[in-house]
């Protein structure tokens, strides 16, 4: 143990560690184990957890060390920071009119067909300067931090030409450097065919021959993602793009089975993708391919909610079939304009049949696996980053059950308090 402990967290009524003895993502019955410790504590040095457990265990572990600072949870719930593994958080403006259109009965593809959806966001992003794009995006993700998100994946895909995609990726890089959050960048030039593009095959050639090499040379992304969907990229095109991404060292991701099941899920598993995402209309064959595989199924309950749909990904069937399930917001300007991970977790419970412990582990540890960060974040255990959140509740199940309220009151990133709700103790119901 070091001579000095920089920070101690004491008095967690429930310390939800989300830790597991297993390697790789949690699945099956193990997904429902939150790693709960009553009367929990943490010890932190140099931004890393050096001990986690009961207060007696942690005090014993650091015996003889000088404690510099202490945070008292006073019976509240303490959990890992949320890991949001699928967002499109860098965009120029929201599309609230499309929300109303969907309620009136217009489909996602109908809106897309008249130039809305992704096409509209592309036009708006191309017209927006990089500095403005950075500043509005920075303010957005700091609001996510206030709800307990400490790690976020952000995809490009609203540029759809080299110049605009590079602008969006540079902004994502600036967010990584200019905010407390860990930011994972994904190149998604294959989010759609460009507006007005008549020859879709020509754009695939541009992606493979020009855009992927340029992004790789600039070192601006860790992953590549493709939207395998009717009217976007078919399975053969998806394979070609993913193969090119793999040649340049990118990890692979696939948007699949959101509206139509084309076989993208099976392709993702075949190619060893780290994740396949959406899966609202996944088939039994897709679930069978995912079962027991290392590919993470990233489910997006807020998207169905935002699309005014009553159809959600079959989370219960997937979990019971030994699929590794993660949760995310899909935060974007149109189909999922909510950046709230607690809301996504709540919807997963009420509409997708996940119990709170499953949903929380899926939104922390399994979500970390989906962005290759499981050795750094996603659970509260020794040697990981000290990313944790104090929630003003006595039972972790209150976070999804008491939906519509931000219960986070203190957010700690790598051992430093990066946000605190002023005066929360005077307003708290905990301990009365």
pLDDT at 37: 98
CA distances from 246 to 45, 212, 225, 241, 294 (A): 37, 10, 11, 9, 17
Cross-strand pairs, 276 = 254, 297
pLDDT at 200: 65
pLDDT at 198: 62
CA distances from 380 to 30, 44, 242, 336 (A): 16, 11, 34, 29
- Tally the C-alpha atoms within 13 A of residue 202's C-alpha that lie toward its C-beta: 6
Cross-strand pairs, 36 = 16
Q: What is the pLDDT along the chain (432 residues), one digit of tens a residue?
A: 778 999 999 999 999 999 987 789 999 999 999 999 999 999 999 999 999 999 999 999 999 999 999 999 999 999 999 999 999 999 999 999 999 998 898 887 788 888 888 999 999 999 999 999 999 999 999 999 999 999 999 999 999 999 999 999 999 999 999 999 999 999 999 999 998 776 668 999 999 999 999 999 999 999 999 999 999 999 999 999 999 999 999 999 999 999 999 999 999 999 999 999 999 999 999 999 999 999 999 999 999 999 989 999 999 999 999 999 999 999 999 999 999 999 999 999 999 999 999 999 999 999 999 999 999 999 999 999 999 999 999 999 999 999 999 999 999 999 999 999 999 999 999 988
Give dist(CA 351, CA 128) in Å, integer. 37
Contacts of residue 422, defined as CB under 8 A and 6 or more positions apart, other chains included, come to: none
Q: Which two tokens stand for residue 237?
A: 């095109």
The 3-state DSSP class for residue 190 equals strand
Look-up of token digits 């919807």: 347
Run of H or E residues at 212: helix 212-218
The 3-state DSSP class for residue 78 equals strand
CA distances from 94 to 16, 31, 51, 110, 154 (A): 35, 35, 43, 18, 16
Give dist(CA 382, CA 141) in Å, integer. 27
- How do 36-45 and 4-16 pair as beta strands? antiparallel
The 3-state DSSP class for residue 278 equals strand
Give dist(CA 273, CA 271) in Å, integer. 6
Domains of the chain, start order: 4-81+379-427 (2.30.40.10), 82-369 (3.20.20.140)
Contacts of residue 392, defined as CB under 8 A and 6 or more positions apart, other chains included, come to: 76, 407, 408, 409, 421, 424, 428, 429, 430
For every residue of 87-144, DSSP letters joined together read -----S---HHHHHHHHTT--HHHHHHTT-THHHHHHHHHTS-HHHHHHHHHHHHHHH
Cross-strand pairs, 398 = none
CA distances from 113 to 106, 110, 120, 428 (A): 11, 5, 11, 49
Q: Which two tokens stand for residue 128?
A: 């927006």
Q: Which of 419, 422, 432, 409 is nearest to 78 (CA)?
A: 409
Direct distance between the N- and C-terminal alpha carbons of the chain, in angstroms, rounded to an integer: 37
Give dist(CA 58, CA 39) in Å, integer. 11
Contacts of residue 338, defined as CB under 8 A and 6 or more positions apart, other chains included, come to: 302, 305, 306, 329, 331, 344
412 Rama sector, left if φ>0, alpha if ψ -120 to 50, beta otherwise = beta
């Amino acid at each position: 143990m070091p001579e000095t402990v920089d920070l101690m967290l004491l008095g967690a009524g429930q310390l939800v560690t989300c830790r597991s003895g297993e390697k790789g993502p949690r699945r099956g019955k193990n997904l429902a184990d939150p790693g709960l410790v009553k009367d929990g504590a943490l010890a932190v040095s140099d931004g890393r957890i050096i001990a986690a457990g009961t207060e007696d265990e942690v005090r014993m572990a650091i015996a003889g060390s000088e404690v510099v600072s202490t945070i008292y949870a006073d019976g509240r719930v303490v959990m890992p920071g949320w890991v949001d593994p699928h967002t499109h958080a860098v965009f120029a403006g929201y599309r609230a009119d499309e929300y109303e259109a969907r309620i009136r009965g217009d489909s996602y593809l109908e809106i897309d067909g008249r130039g809305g959806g992704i096409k509209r966001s592309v036009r708006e992003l191309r017209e927006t300067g990089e500095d403005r794009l950075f500043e509005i995006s920075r303010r957005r993700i700091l609001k996510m931090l206030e709800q307990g998100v400490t790690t976020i994946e952000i995809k490009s895909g609203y540029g759809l030409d080299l110049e605009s995609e590079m602008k969006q990726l540079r902004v994502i890089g600036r967010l990584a450097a200019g905010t407390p959050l860990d930011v994972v960048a994904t190149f998604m030039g294959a989010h759609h065919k460009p507006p007005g593009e008549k020859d879709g095959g020509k754009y695939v050639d541009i992606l493979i021959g020009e855009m992927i090499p340029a992004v790789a040379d600039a070192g601006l992304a860790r992953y590549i993602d493709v939207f395998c969907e009717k009217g976007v990229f078919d399975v053969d095109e998806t394979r070609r793009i993913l193969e090119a991404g793999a040649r340049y060292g990118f990890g692979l991701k696939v948007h699949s089975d959101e509206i139509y099941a084309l076989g993208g899920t099976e392709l993702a598993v075949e190619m060893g993708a780290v994740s396949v995402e959406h899966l609202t209309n996944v088939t039994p064959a897709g679930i069978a391919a995912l079962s027991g595989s290392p590919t993470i199924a990233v489910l997006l309950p807020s998207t169905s909610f935002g699309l005014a749909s009553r159809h959600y990904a079959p989370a219960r069937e997937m979990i019971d079939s030994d699929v590794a399930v993660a949760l995310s917001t899909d935060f974007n300007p149109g189909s999922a304009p909510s950046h709230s991970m607690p809301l996504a977790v709540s919807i997963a419970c009420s509409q997708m049949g996940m119990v709170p412990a499953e949903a929380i582990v899926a939104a922390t540890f399994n979500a970390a696996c989906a962005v290759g960060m499981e050795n750094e974040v996603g659970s509260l255990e020794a040697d990981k980053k000290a990313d944790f959140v104090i929630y003003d509740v006595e039972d972790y199940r209150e976070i999804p059950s008491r939906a519509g309220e931000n219960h986070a009151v203190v957010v700690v990133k790598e051992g430093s308090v990066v946000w605190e709700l002023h005066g929360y103790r005077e307003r708290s119901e905990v301990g009365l």
